[in-house]
Structure 1
Amino acid sequence: MQLTLNLPEIARERPVLDLARFDLIVICSSAGKDSMALLAYVARLIRQQGFAGRVVVLHNDLGITRSGEPVEWPGVQALAREHAATYGFEFVVRSRALGGLWDELLGQRRRWMSHHARWCTSDQKEGPSMTWITRAVGEFWSTLGVPADRPVEVLYCLGLRGEESASRAAQPIAQINERRSSGRRIITRWLPIRDFSVAEVWNEIKEAGLRPHAGYDWGLSRLSCALCVLASLEDLMLAAALRPALAADYRWAEIELGMRFTERLSMGEILSGLAAARLEEARAPHAAAARTTLCALVREHLATTPAARGEGLTASGRKRRPWTPQQLDARAAARTAEIIDAGRRAVVRAARVDVSQAVRAPLVDGGRAEQTAPGVGTTPQRNGQAGERKADPGSGEAGDPAPMDRPGPDGVGPERADPPSGHRGRPQVRRGRDGRVSILCPYGHLITSVSRGEWAGSITEAHVGDPSYTVTCYGATIGRAE
């Protein structure tokens, strides 16, 4: 049973907790954007309220694969440690005693995680965190040197946001976790940024001056496990392109388990899609054969789905009809095109990335507001400075836009002369007929493009809408017209 707390609230229904009632504050951090905003928000409240108790930033290490590849993105643990050190908070790393995610997947569960079976979170994150809290509670009274006369009050902070899913949006912002509490401890589960938008998340990070992971510059929309079953097609294709050894391990696991990575997308399809995309980009003679191979994989799976077999009812309550061979072929071809298109974008982006450079500069530099937004016109940092992505009109990305004649977001139309120092200024946005949203420099060169589905609520949308942000490129050729 979960006991919801009655708390005073401020704008957007965000509870203001009296931190003085807690003995221990635990802030969970994956080093992703939501964890960063969570840390900055809670740290500000700690400073404002003068909380003097123990504060711990807790990071969960998810382990490595059979070939030694980290399950998480490189650099996340060091970055989470850096974020904690920014505020002088204690930093703790925990891992599951019975093995990491890979060990549990292959040795115990023998099934992939899914939206309805997120044992990766319960076993690899919450479980080890609670084990550490149990030990910390045991140390609490002995450290004070006085007898225990009440339960230890623990505030357990998580960076879950309602925009991520309907189930998260429905969770109370603050509640006592009765299942994890006992006579020795009371654990309050707190989601202080549940109602934050993506823009508010990045504004919180910007104001705090924290350094984000460079994965957001590479094109990732989320920073979780490198290959997460809940990730989007775009993120999975890019992750596999950036970390081929990890993708190969996951493909091996898929074969070993005899089970698809997700119902909608297998690792075999991901790797085949990347291979076909590379061949098509190179205009190789075997490109058509690679597309045909992928289409056969997709068709084989689609044929086994309930919809293809005519099982169940339609939204209007009528019995479904099985797909005809022509319908099956058409759907397989459309899905194949979707995978290869995402693969092509992943290949282009991956070619610009140095995965070893895992951290970018803070969003605020020396108090100046004029910065390049992550994911818009930047590459991972080098030698401590954020790099600048050169426009690549010949990248082959579908729907590369022509320069816009209408004024940009700041009301100033793009000029046509190329300045010798590069093109720096407010970005332009163009929505193409191909279903993609493209970001241009002030002179009409392509900086990046994303699908409309990835655009809505993304960091790119948030920062392009910020008047203080700029993009820079050194392209000398106007983007191609559609």
Structure 2
Amino acid sequence: MQTATLFDLPDIQTLQEAPAAAAPAKPRPKPKKTRTVHASVPLTPWTTVPDELIRDADWVVISSSGGKDSQAMLSYVVQRARALGMLDKVVVVHADLSRVEWAGTRELAELQARLAGVRRFEVVQAKGADLLDRVEIRYGKLKAKAEREALERGEDPSTAKVAPAWPSSAARWCTPDVKRGPIRTLYTRLVAELGDLGRPVRILECIGQRAAESTARAQLAEVEINRGASNGKRHVTTWRPIHGWSDRKVWREIARSRLPYHPAYDWGNRRLSCVFCVLGCNSDLVNGARRVPELAAAYARTEVVVGADFKKGLSMAEIIRRAQALEAAEGPAARPPVGTAMAEHVGRAVTSKYRVRQATLYGLAA
């Protein structure tokens, strides 16, 4: 065996001139898709006056979750449209969330619309999987992505950190998936119904978001162009009719309208839509676990599958534990009297009149 001598080794200059070993090529990031907005879509609304918005619209579409805010908005907008003689252009739409929303919500939204005098009520629903199933599907995709990227970095894929699959305040993917997208399919149908007007169809979408709900919603404009929903065939203007309203004003409008509201509010809920919303307060979540324990159990099972808590810092397993502790201490929760929630905001006298008028006009239990 020959041993290399000093003269057999490359000199320093040769080493310095030799090209460095090529580093592993980094994967190129996928180019971001840019959505172009049709040139005809305006940047800002031409008016913010409510009656002018209604007059100008070809369709006035009221999104109704069945909750107190959309209910108050419904009665307010319908009142204005009726005064203008334009109730025929009003459509109420409910995005059905399947098993994850409170029982009877869809039926209540339809009843509210009918009692308010709206002739057209539409129900839309996302195709395929419901919210819980979508969380598991999303987890599978995020896990595969994390493992692939770990391999590209030369790391052990089993140690890859998977991004959260649950919706959150920072990633509310559930709203476009199960609400916004399906509602836009309704817009497409409404445009087709009017045929060729020689111009884009004007849709006024009414949303019950209020500034008092959160800092983020306080920053929203009362009226703005929805450029994401607009195109060459339709121009969509977003109107938040009750954006500046307080809780008290919302309940006063419900009392004035005499429309029935969801019993979950009398049970103590502050919000209504999904039984378990990541934006809901803890008491709402515990309340949901007491009233719909089988759904809470389904959420807990999904937590195990995706390896993450339903809400940051608060697992569904813990929510169930708190609900069970209350059941043990207080016994099964009994339904409070109708009007309990309303009385807290507008007083017993107004609430009593509301219940009597409901019984007289609609035959509903007082």
**TM superposition score category, shorter chain reference:** 0.7 to 0.9
Q: Match for residue 101 of structure 1?
A: 131
- Cα deviation for residue 269 of structure 1 reads 1.1
Q: Does 1:184 align with 2:214?
A: no
Preserved CA contact (<8 Å) 1:28 1:158: yes
Look up the equivalent residue of 2:119 and give its one-letter code. F
Q: Match for residue 88 of structure 1?
A: 118
Structure 2 unaligned blocks of 5 or more: 1-36, 141-164, 354-366
Secondary structure of 1:254's match? helix
Higher share of residues assigned strand: 1
Q: Match for residue 131 of structure 1?
A: 185
Look up the equivalent residue of 1:248 and give its one-letter code. A
Secondary structure of 1:189's match? strand
Structural RMSD (CA): 2.3
Matches of 2:343 and 2:135 in 1, distance apart? 34
Count of residue pairs the alignment pairs up: 288
The one-character-per-residue Cα deviations of 1:272-321 (angstroms, maximum 9, x if unpaired) are 22334445x2xxxxxxxxxxxxxxxxxxxxxxxxxxxxxxxxxxxxxxxx
Within a 5 Å distance, the mapping from 1:75-474 to structure 2 comes to: 75-86=104-115, 87-108=117-138, 111-141=165-195, 147-279=196-328, 281=329, 350-353=332-335, 373-375=339-341, 461-464=344-347, 468-469=350-351
Look up the equivalent residue of 2:68 and give its one-letter code. K
Secondary structure of 1:59's match? strand
Matches of 2:219 and 2:52 in 1, distance apart? 20
The structure-2 alpha-carbon separation of the partners of 1:229 and 1:470, relative to structure 1 and needing over 3 Å to count, comes to same
Matches of 2:327 and 2:260 in 1, distance apart? 33
- Cα deviation for residue 109 of structure 1 reads 5.2
- Cα deviation for residue 470 of structure 1 reads 6.4
Higher share of residues assigned helix: 2
Preserved CA contact (<8 Å) 1:23 1:53: no
Q: Match for residue 3 of structure 1?
A: 43
- Cα deviation for residue 224 of structure 1 reads 1.8
Matches of 1:274 and 1:62 in 2, distance apart? 24
Preserved CA contact (<8 Å) 2:208 2:242: yes
Secondary structure of 2:238's match? strand
Secondary structure of 1:196's match? coil
- Cα deviation for residue 20 of structure 1 reads 1.9
The one-character-per-residue Cα deviations of 1:25-75 (angstroms, maximum 9, x if unpaired) are 111001110010010011011011111653211001112xxxxxx211111
Matches of 1:49 and 1:148 in 2, distance apart? 22
- Cα deviation for residue 84 of structure 1 reads 1.2
Look up the equivalent residue of 1:103 and give its one-letter code. D
Matches of 1:270 and 1:203 in 2, distance apart? 33
Q: Match for residue 27 of structure 2?
A: none
Q: Match for residue 35 of structure 1?
A: 70
Q: Does 1:49 align with 2:84?
A: yes
Which is further off, 50-59 or 21-30? Answer: 50-59
Matches of 2:278 and 2:304 in 1, distance apart? 16
Moved over 6 A (4+): none
Matches of 1:239 and 1:200 in 2, distance apart? 26
Preserved CA contact (<8 Å) 1:7 1:17: yes
Sequence identity percentage: 38
Preserved CA contact (<8 Å) 1:3 1:177: no
The one-character-per-residue Cα deviations of 1:210-263 (angstroms, maximum 9, x if unpaired) are 011111111111112111111111111111011110110010011111011111
Q: Match for residue 54 of structure 2?
A: 19
Secondary structure of 1:115's match? coil
Q: Does 1:72 align with 2:112?
A: no
Preserved CA contact (<8 Å) 2:55 2:86: yes
Structure 1 unaligned blocks of 5 or more: 10-14, 64-69, 142-146, 282-346, 355-359, 362-372, 376-458, 472-482
Matches of 1:180 and 1:468 in 2, distance apart? 40
- Cα deviation for residue 8 of structure 1 reads 5.4
- Cα deviation for residue 7 of structure 1 reads 3.0
Secondary structure of 1:183's match? coil
Preserved CA contact (<8 Å) 2:309 2:316: yes
The structure-2 alpha-carbon separation of the partners of 1:460 and 1:109, relative to structure 1 and needing over 3 Å to count, comes to farther
Look up the equivalent residue of 2:131 and give its one-letter code. L
Preserved CA contact (<8 Å) 1:4 1:172: no
Secondary structure of 1:216's match? coil
Higher relative contact order (CA 8 A, sep 6+): 2
> Could you tell me the TM-score, scaled by structure 1's length?
0.56
Matches of 1:109 and 1:5 in 2, distance apart? 40
The one-character-per-residue Cα deviations of 1:97-127 (angstroms, maximum 9, x if unpaired) are 2332223222235611101111111110000
The one-character-per-residue Cα deviations of 1:180-221 (angstroms, maximum 9, x if unpaired) are 111110000110000111111111111111011111111111
Look up the equivalent residue of 1:58 and give its one-letter code. V
The structure-2 alpha-carbon separation of the partners of 1:221 and 1:460, relative to structure 1 and needing over 3 Å to count, comes to farther
Preserved CA contact (<8 Å) 1:114 1:230: yes
Preserved CA contact (<8 Å) 2:90 2:118: no
